[in-house]
Amino acid sequence: MPERPDYPSLIAGHTVVLDMINSGESGLPILHHLLRLAQRALGAAGTSFAEYGPRRGRIIAATGAAEWSVGRPVDLDDPATARLLTGPRTVEFPSTALAAAQADQIAGRGLYRMLTARAEIGGVLIGSLHAYYPDPDRSASPDHHTLIAYLASCIAHMYGDQTGLPVHGDGPVVAALADGLAIVDDESCVRLWNPAAERLTGSTAQDRLHRPIPFPVPPPGQVVDHQLPDGRWLRITSGELPGFVASRVVTFRDITDQHHRDHDVDLFIAVTSHELRTPVTVIKGYAETLSDHWESLTDRDRREAARVLGQRATELARLVDRLLSAANDSGPAVGAPSAPFDLVETLRAAVEDLPAGLRQRLTVELPDDLPKAVGDRASLTTVLTELATNADKYSSSGSPIEVTAIADERSVALRISDRGIGVRPEHVERAFDRFWQGESGDQRRYPGAGLGLYLVRQIVERQHGWVSLRPRDGGGTVAEVRLPRS
């Protein structure tokens, strides 16, 4: 760690940030640039930013020696994380102070110290900025603490402006910045009232501050619908505010158009009926053809009909499994206990089970000396199928889909890369939501239920791994799955 921050890099980097903003860029591209700026100015080996929700966080961007961590969940109950959320604005600590798995992963990459800072808006915790260092015996100077706090404030300001952030969709507290948001104390008196709250209720912050909130507040984690005097309906949720005693964050949105309608149930029924219709129709048609025209069909026609029936029945079974798994928020059932397995052998076998048309598009380059991964081997077939199918859907039929694998000191990674339409930076996390589709659910161009990536994340995180998406240089998308190394 250098004795003083690199202030010339800070000034030059901020000039680039302003140019990016003035040219219309926002969200993750600017966040990535700020992280690279932080790495240079702080003399760090790598940096990362974790975005927090009510119960957990996730690393949404990283640079340098920390790039491997993108997509990794962050446990808010971890003692080091709790220390950051409740203690001073900036904290420095050894990586060994983290939870065992995370400490092992960070130290295994030669990173032994962390300097961190909270990013907050009006008392609402947005996330935390982390700088990583290889030298375990040196400490950050006051200038380093001041600079990382300043950069964390810059990131928080981006959230306040809603410039392409947060990257999460519905769910995390930060996502509610575009909705009505209030912070209330233990007597339900308002401490913060955002502009969206003013628009939704017609009550200004001046009218509401230090007064009781004008509608019921449900217990943390629960939801209540409330009708305003003008007849509109609000859907209200609340959660504990990490790091603040006797405070809760309350979010609310206008649901007038969908009141008396359970959106998730309706959507599930619509998606289910749409997705089941095609394979059922094909199976019915071929079965009737065989039944009504058996004698007039050639042996070749019969074999082809039987092949299609088998293929469509397999697709139907897979679809039913996905729909039933997604109907339950807990995700797919837990498979076999985690154990070491040969990822290369598993992937090669899984490729053979893919539909012929998809299999022909794959270019598989797997090292023979890849270390064993730890997880549920059987579930990797589902993971590969979902990621490869997703790449196939969003890329042209003539372009290859690349399957590769790498390893580092603590993890083994599977990558599926395509040259398709690419994922937008602001969608790299929303893509993992149930029923969400990047192209507004356009079933004509990109048919599907919007369940595949959701299920992949559920499967992988139950094996103590994580999965992430990122735009590919030159166009396309890279999906990366990381599992613990044996």
**In-domain check, residue 198:** yes
Same domain, yes or no: 391 and 276:
no
**Three-point CA angle 153, 121, 46, nearest 5°:** 35
Same domain, yes or no: 55 and 137:
yes
pTM: 0.66
Closest by CA position to 51, among listed 25, 33, 27: 27
**In-domain check, residue 333:** no
Same domain, yes or no: 63 and 143:
yes
**In-domain check, residue 88:** yes
Same domain, yes or no: 195 and 126:
no
How many Cα atoms within 13 Å fall on the side-chain side of residue 442? 8
Domain that holds residue 157: 7-161
Same domain, yes or no: 186 and 73:
no
Q: What is the CATH number of the domain that holds 250?
A: 3.30.450.20
Same domain, yes or no: 194 and 321:
no
Same domain, yes or no: 226 and 114:
no
Distance, CA of 65 to CA of 132 (rounded, Å): 8
Q: What is the full DSSP assignment across 329-384?
A: TT-SPP-SPPEEE-HHHHHHHHHHTS-HHHHHHEEEE--TTPPPEEE-TTHHHHHH
Same domain, yes or no: 309 and 375:
no
Distance, CA of 71 to CA of 482 (rounded, Å): 9
Q: Report the percent of the chain where pLDDT is more than 90.
A: 30
Q: Could you tell me which residue, 38 or 125, shows the higher pLDDT?
A: 38
pLDDT tens-digit map of 127-150: 899 999 998 888 899 999 999 999
- Count how many domains the chain has: 4
**In-domain check, residue 334:** no
- Name, in order, each residue with C-beta under 8 angstroms of 174's C-beta and a sequence gap of 6 or more: 51, 52, 53, 124, 126, 127, 159, 165, 166, 168
Query: Residues 90, 95, 98, 101: is their CA dihedral positive or negative?
Result: positive
Same domain, yes or no: 201 and 87:
no
Distance, CA of 155 to CA of 287 (rounded, Å): 59
pLDDT band (50, 70, 90) for residue 9? confident
**In-domain check, residue 314:** yes
Helix (H, G, I), strand (E, B) or coil at 67: helix
Q: Last residue of a domain, which of 218, 233, 258? A: 258
**In-domain check, residue 2:** no
Q: What is the CATH number of the domain that holds 19?
A: 3.30.450.40
Q: Could you tell me which residue, 242 or 33, shows the higher pLDDT?
A: 33
Q: What is the CATH number of the domain that holds 288?
A: 1.10.287.130
Same domain, yes or no: 120 and 213:
no
Q: Last residue of a domain, which of 221, 237, 258? A: 258
**In-domain check, residue 170:** no
pLDDT tens-digit map of 146-189: 999 999 998 888 877 666 777 764 333 444 455 788 888 888 89
pLDDT tens-digit map of 273-327: 555 665 676 687 788 888 888 888 888 888 888 888 887 787 677 667 666 665 5
Q: What is the CATH number of the domain that holds 437?
A: 3.30.565.10
**In-domain check, residue 167:** no
Q: What is the full DSSP assignment across 201-257?
A: HS--HHHHBTSB-SS--PPTT-EEEEE-TTS-EEEEEEEE-TT-TTEEEEEEEE-GG
Same domain, yes or no: 251 and 305:
no
Q: Last residue of a domain, which of 281, 296, 326? A: 326
Same domain, yes or no: 214 and 294:
no
pLDDT surpasses 60 at 418: yes
